[in-house]
Amino acid sequence: MKQPIQVPDGEKIRLKDFDPDDTGKYEDKDEAKAETEKNIEHLAELQEVLYAEGKHALLIILQAMDAAGKDGTIKQVMSGVNPQGCIVTSFKAPTPLELAHDFLWRVHQHAPPKGYLGIFNRSHYEDVLIVRVHNLVPEKVWRDRYDHINNFEKLLADNGVTILKFFLHISKDEQKERLEKRLEDESKNWKFNPGDLKERDLWEEYMEAYEDAINKCNTPWAPWHVVPANKKWYRNLVISERIVEALESLDLKYPPAPEGIEKIVIE
């Protein structure tokens, strides 16, 4: 059976049923390259109208295990985007000030304003992922956060923010290869973090946490997408396609010209 990209509303999924090597109907990257480039070009056009109209915003949330390609997705898929209308936020360990507030306080500040694309490289979902896996808060606390997240995302959606959530799904073997390349390639050494190996040891715990986050926070206003990410070219194709579809669904239009513009003469 063909595995879905967007998780069906109301259905519970198991990540072990999703093949990270899946490439849909495509045999190789050459076959998909033209479509991806077309999507990237169209995305740039749509972003210009989004910015000019100023009535909607799009929030793209990228979650994944280490080395799954969050940075690469941003670099490739957003290569044609005008930086003036795009805000990328990477969420690291919370600061003392952020810890003094509720867990969504720091996130809400970075929600994209109308007219903008917002990209979260990791997000508020870390507070039901790493926090859960490492027992940083009591279970009662992180379990309550699923409802808080759903309500938060509903608030954003009700205020004109379209939300797309992507889990970049790679296999443990693929992660091993990518981490090894970071060790072998001097230009990628800086990307290697010994702490990633400790997180890798907790792979099964993370898969369980991701599965719960996807199942409990997959809503009509903020759907999850499970993107097979072992093949970078297919990952980029799928995500670019979904972003373009979301922007097209907004029926974006340039704002009307000032009244009497046809009579203006510039000397």
Q: What is the dihedral of CA 95, 97, 100, 105, to 10 degrees?
A: -90
24-28, 41-45, 69-73, 165-169: range with lowest mean pLDDT? 24-28
Query: What pLDDT, on a 0 to 100 scale, did the predictor assign at position 142?
Result: 98
CATH number, domain of 37, equals 3.40.50.300
Task: Give the mean model confidence (pLDDT) for residues 159-185.
Answer: 95
- How many independent structural domains does the chain possess? 1
With cut-offs at 50, 70 and 90, classify the pLDDT of residue 262: confident
With cut-offs at 50, 70 and 90, classify the pLDDT of residue 1: very low
**CA atoms of 148 and 103, how far apart (whole Å):** 10
Residue 67 forms part of a structural domain: yes
With cut-offs at 50, 70 and 90, classify the pLDDT of residue 38: very high
- Chain-centre distance for alpha carbon 188: 23
Write out pLDDT tens, residues 41-55. Answer: 999 999 999 999 999
Domain that holds residue 82: 15-263
Residue 5 forms part of a structural domain: no
Residue 51 forms part of a structural domain: yes
Query: What pLDDT, on a 0 to 100 scale, did the predictor assign at position 2?
Result: 67
**CA atoms of 227 and 240, how far apart (whole Å):** 11
Please state, rounded to an integer, the average pLDDT across all residues of the chain.
95
The pLDDT of residue 146 is above 60: yes
Contact 60, 166 (CB under 8 A): yes
Contact 46, 80 (CB under 8 A): no
